[in-house]
Structure 1
Amino acid sequence: MAYRIGTRGSALATTQTQWVADAMSDEHTAFEQVIIKTKGDVTTGSLANLGGTGVFATALRQAVIDGEVDMAVHSLKDLPAKQPAELHIAAIPARADVRDALCAANGMTLETLPKGAKIGTGSPRRVAQLLAYRPDLEMIDIRGNVQTRLARVAGYEHHHDNAPAAAGSPKGDLDAVVLACAGIDRLGMDWAITERIDPDIMLPAPGQGSLAIEIAANKTLDAPLANALAAHQDTGARLEATAERALLATLEAGCASPIGALARFVNGTLHLDAVVAAMDGSKTIRRQASTTLDESAVTEATSDAAYALGVEVAQMMIDDGADLLPPGPARGTR
């Protein structure tokens, strides 16, 4: 039986979708990719001003709802926190490196970047936390695929064998860019990382490092597909995602400032650490909490407890004034 998987057309999206397809395939089950263009792929301008995370997900989700594809593979951080009733996240595989990556000229790190260094990122979350740590840095809004953004770093434009930078894109005009470690690792380009940024300095976007396999909520799964999805589900990653997305959904109800969150499920305990920051880095609110869960499986009770943990930490932050922080340009958390 062959199933159709919807994906964006970028090198990263097709690579991670193929990874999912290969992992779920066996002698009875095959998967083929269907490329879907999203608003985020065809629209220029600042990602934050385009509306943040949802610009990469809407067209893929509509293709699932319309039956154009059997499922879609997303980077979980690209999914808005509110889950549509028509769709169901059927599986979240084991999580990759959750950290953000500094890709800097001459092997520099956050500590060794010179005063006034130009750092490229399209993420309000990264801007806010970087400025909180190094207020002397100059933040430059950038977009594009991984190769295009890396080509903006001085010296990196000579390292590209995978794909050219977009026509007309600047090259070598920045001291560093910040990307997700997971994406760079999946592309086999970890040579570009000069520092995997400690979450104590920069918390990732909710869901960062995780993939989500989404299907129509009313879809009746045949046995081969149901078994493939069940085998691809990771208990810890699912519980972590539930807590992080619950926090994001709760904060977004009244807070438009950049948000970072990281849940870790270790030895039956789910820890959640989160931050809300003013866009200029002048103020941050960071809180954490934990809860003990049954680590054998994701049940309704464990899922509810993970969700409650996210709400609890979000409410702590709201009580401490998170909703009063100056907003970013949009509710993008990437």
Structure 2
Amino acid sequence: MIRLGTRRSALATAQATHVAESLRALGHEVELVPIVTTGDTSRAPLEQIGGTGVFVSALRDALLAHEIDIAVHSLKDLPTAPVDGLTLGAIPLREDPRDVLVARDGLSLGELQTGALVGTGSPRRVAQLEALGLGLELTGIRGNVDSRIAMVADGKLDAVVLARAGLARLGRLSEVTETLDPIQVLPAPGQGALGIECRADDAAVLTALAPLEDPAVRAAVTAERQMLATLEAGCTAPVGALAEVVEGEDGPELWLRGALGQEGGVRRLSANGPVDDPHGLGRALANELLEQT
């Protein structure tokens, strides 16, 4: 029996259930074990309660205490610093990593009037949306997908910006009014990807997880997260990143785009490198961004 720890939110449960079903299809017995985290019980801004790492610390504690065998994380919520004794046993196929707009009356970003009230709890999104110069009024929000979308339906907000992957996993893509081009808003490092964490010495679980691994996704998110780590930025910092494995002149290569919010605007750069050195690519692009700030 593989004990899979999950937060209680609808999205976390949907993600955990997806992984559980994949493991069951491979012949494994899986039990879902609900875990409550500080991020779930507090409504304070993330930067005040420790960043998005508050969503994963309780799951990691349960892993280290042998209360669960695996934990499923949204990789954009996972701190970049490693934890002794734990490892990412598998990174499966990634959902679409882009951000989306859910707006009143089916409006797109460009159709929102100057002064329209747009909700997001992400400094990354705020920095990039402000850089577009659309005259939007951006306000911080917390809460699950239901409560955020309800703010638009109730007329409290004109729109909210969310991760497309979350709506896809909840079966709510029909409510999207626009999928934002990464040229406008780069997603968070690791957005749309899941990380399945386990104890590093649990050979049986590592073997069970191996078929779920997607090497191209691991290379991409490793580059994105290395860029974030090199910038010495927390998960709530105004950093956007998106990497993809593409076909180059001499075979597959990794292409990474990065954005760093700073006073006066957003710095954007891109770079490419070998697929087998995502850490090097992430570090190189981060250093280039730092040199130009």
TM class by shorter chain equals over 0.9
Residue 218 and residue 50 in structure 1: after superposition, are their counterparts in 2 closer, same or farther (change >3 A)? Answer: same
Which of 258, 271, 288 matches 1:316?
Answer: 288
> Is contact 2:123–2:236 with CA below 8 Å preserved after alignment?
no
Q: How does 1:114-133 map to 2 (within 5 A)?
A: 114-133=113-132
Q: Match for residue 34 of structure 2?
A: 35
What secondary structure is seen at the aligned counterpart in 2 of 1:25? helix
Q: Match for residue 181 of structure 1?
A: 164
Q: Match for residue 272 of structure 2?
A: 290
Which blocks of at least 5 consecutive residues in structure 2 are unaligned?
none
TM-score by length of 2: 0.95
> Is contact 2:89–2:209 with CA below 8 Å preserved after alignment?
yes
Which of 270, 281, 294 matches 2:254?
Answer: 270
Task: After TM superposition, give the deviation of residue 115 of structure 1 in Å.
Answer: 0.6
> Is contact 1:48–1:124 with CA below 8 Å preserved after alignment?
no
Aligned-partner residue type, residue 97 of structure 1: D
* RMSD of equivalent CA atoms: 1.7
Residue 95 and residue 199 in structure 1: after superposition, are their counterparts in 2 closer, same or farther (change >3 A)? Answer: same
Aligned-partner residue type, residue 190 of structure 1: L
Which structure: greater strand fraction?
A: 2
Aligned-partner residue type, residue 188 of structure 1: G
Q: Match for residue 229 of structure 2?
A: 249
Task: After TM superposition, give the deviation of residue 21 of structure 1 in Å.
Answer: 0.6
Q: Percent identity?
A: 47
TM-score by length of 1: 0.83
> Is contact 2:43–2:143 with CA below 8 Å preserved after alignment?
no
Distance 1:122 1:148 in 2: 13
Q: How does 1:230-245 map to 2 (within 5 A)?
A: 230-245=210-225
Instruction: State how many pairs are aligned.
Output: 289
Q: Deviations over 1:216-241 (max 9, x none)?
A: 1232x22xx44431110001110011
Q: Deviations over 1:280-317 (max 9, x none)?
A: xx311111100133xxxxxxxx2xx1100000000001
What secondary structure is seen at the aligned counterpart in 2 of 1:173? coil
Distance 2:159 2:236 in 1: 27
